Amino acid sequence: GDSLRQGGQDFRLHGIDAVELHQSCVKNGRQYPCGQEAKRALSQLVRGKTLACDTLDGDRYGRGVVHCSVGSLDINAEMVRLGWAIAYTRHSEAYLDEEANARRNRRGLWQGTFERPNKWRERNRNSLMRVDLDE
């Protein structure tokens, strides 16, 4: 939900943090595959569309840290707005309003409970989630 692959290169969406692919969350007392839902949401936003990305930085894994849009739609913001990613305040405070709105309206992850992605990664170090645009 916060990583992409295109042309064999990996990218990370700037300012957001999504649950990991194998991460589960709880809604209505039941676990569900929220990581897969986040990946699906990102895929629906970008697959088959003209994606414009600006590289802002690089991360320690060699990925480009990018801000992406499809037309006028800010993909980074939309993932937070939909509730499938949270504002990654360690690096930016750009999406705090979108996160507050998603939380208030119980969208995506906010429909139930979830472990913050950074905490989940601490316990599960070998997880990496991305949408492969070359598939």
Rounded CA separation 88/76 (Å):
11
Tokens of 126: 């070998």
Rounded CA separation 100/102 (Å):
6
Mean pLDDT across the stretch 98-127?
90
Mean pLDDT across the stretch 14-29?
94
Asked if residue 42 is part of any domain, the answer here is: yes
Range of the domain at 117: 3-124
Asked if residue 132 is part of any domain, the answer here is: no
pLDDT in the model for residue 132: 64
Q: How many domains does the chain have?
A: 1
Asked if residue 38 is part of any domain, the answer here is: yes
Give yes or no for residue 96 having a pLDDT over 90: yes
Q: How confident is the model at residue 126 (pLDDT cuts 50, 70, 90)?
A: low
Which one, of 111, 117, 112, lies nearest residue 16 by Cα? 117
Asked if residue 87 is part of any domain, the answer here is: yes
Asked if residue 48 is part of any domain, the answer here is: yes
Q: What is the CATH number of the domain that holds 69?
A: 2.40.50.90
Asked if residue 131 is part of any domain, the answer here is: no
Rounded CA separation 12/69 (Å):
13
